[in-house]
Amino acid sequence: MIDFQPIFQAVRQAAVLCQQVQEHYLISNDKGGHEPVTIADYGAQAILSRCISLHFPDDAILAEEQGGQFMELVAEDQRKEVIRLISQILGITVTQVDVVKWLDYGQNREASRMWVIDPIDGTKGYISMRNYAIAVGLMVDRKPVGGIIGAPAYPGGAQLFHAQSGNAYMQPLQGGAVKRVHVSASTNAASLRALESVEKSHANHDRMQHVREVAGLGEAELIHIDSMEKYARIAAGDAELYLRLPRIGSTRPFMIWDHCAGTAIVEAAGGKVTDVDGSPLDYSSGKTLKNQGIVVSNGAIHDRVIAAVQKILTEEA
């Protein structure tokens, strides 16, 4: 069994960096398409990828950020600031060459074992001081089999979730007792909690409301949160449904790093993660998933939600 302890430590270090940037140096740059990126995205990925390069040097990495972008998009004084923070947090002297090398480490390589990094998932939430996640997924032969999610803004205190060998766990992000988690068994609409993105541009809120109504879940409490923390809440039994249906006509693909760790953790907690037709998400190649939407649930309500999505897709066609 792979030892996740070094990754847990790297996620904790990345979370410290994210918090320090959020408190003292928050400036965002535009990656294009109005997608923001901050020095914390690069700093956190450098810490996570460095850890994998040290402990699993032959593995492949699929990660959101790139060294070239760090050099092009980030002003020199900001680069110096994040390099100083990485050095301080790791307790070693780090150079710009190191950071660029770590950012790109293991990328453009295919190997049976592939780590999937989203250093800050929900960057818009992070910038707005809402929820965000630090995510490391693990694929073996392109199937999500493990994952780690740091959730610094989890209700009740920062948490670290992980899935390994078919079981899901949570522990306080800063360390403490590790406990197994399992999805909620609830099917009673009035007591269900449904999750969706805060950002209206990320998913079509009206379509998803329609699905919940057709599925008989219109009474469910609706909670808007950013990031893969949505997967963590389903795994922990703190919510039962997470829908992600794109705007009609959207051609924007789903990125593997936005879903890999979450998929592994929810499945290990006994939940379901599927495409709109109930089939598993397709992680088989490249950086994008080949599916139409994402339905995440506690399992018990899955079939009725898929039936409702299918009915609405037929009506829309």
What totals of helices (H) and strands (E) does the chain contain, helices first?
10, 14
Q: Rank residues 124 and 193 by Cβ distance to Mg ion and give the closer one.
A: 124
Q: Which stretch binds ligand AMP (CB under 6 A): 99-107, 174-182, 251-259, 282-290?
A: 251-259
Are residues 147 and 260 in contact, defined by beta-carbon separation less than 8 angstroms? yes
Q: How far is the CB of 113 from ligand AMP (least distance, A)?
A: 23
Task: Catalytic residue, from 38, 104, 118, 123: name it.
Answer: 123
Nearest to 137 by CA among 261, 284, 262, 267: 261
Q: Which two tokens stand for residue 223?
A: 């909670």
Q: How far is CA 243 from the centre of its chain?
A: 15
Q: Which stretch binds ligand AMP (CB under 6 A): 10-18, 65-73, 197-205, 209-217?
A: 197-205
- Look up 59 and say whether it is catalytic: no
Q: Rank residues 33 and 57 by Cβ distance to Mg ion and give the closer one.
A: 33
CA distances from residue 68 to 65, 102, 104, 301 in whole angstroms, order as listed: 9, 12, 9, 44
CA distance 119 to 113: 19
Give the DSSP letter string of 287-302.
SB---S-EEEE-STTH
Residue 313 interacts, among Mg ion, ligand AMP, none and using kind-specific CB cut-offs from 5 to 8 Å, with: none
Among 41, 104, 258, 267, indicate the residue that binds ligand AMP (CB under 6 A): 258
Q: How many CB atoms lie within 10 A of CB 114?
A: 23
Q: How far is the CB of 121 from Mg ion (least distance, A)?
A: 4
Are residues 25 and 41 in contact, defined by beta-carbon separation less than 8 angstroms? no
CA distance 257 to 263: 10
Q: How far is the CB of 217 from Mg ion (least distance, A)?
A: 26
Among 196, 258, 267, 275, indicate the residue that binds Mg ion (CB under 5 A): 258
- Look up 41 and say whether it is catalytic: yes
Among 6, 142, 189, 199, indicate the residue that binds ligand AMP (CB under 6 A): 199
Task: Catalytic residue, from 38, 41, 258, 274: name it.
Answer: 41
The letter for the amino acid at 5 is: Q
Residue 152 interacts, among ligand AMP, Mg ion, none and using kind-specific CB cut-offs from 5 to 8 Å, with: none
Q: Which stretch binds ligand AMP (CB under 6 A): 65-73, 120-128, 155-163, 184-192?
A: 120-128
Q: Rank residues 56 and 126 by Cβ distance to ligand AMP and give the closer one.
A: 126
Catalytic machinery residues: 41, 123
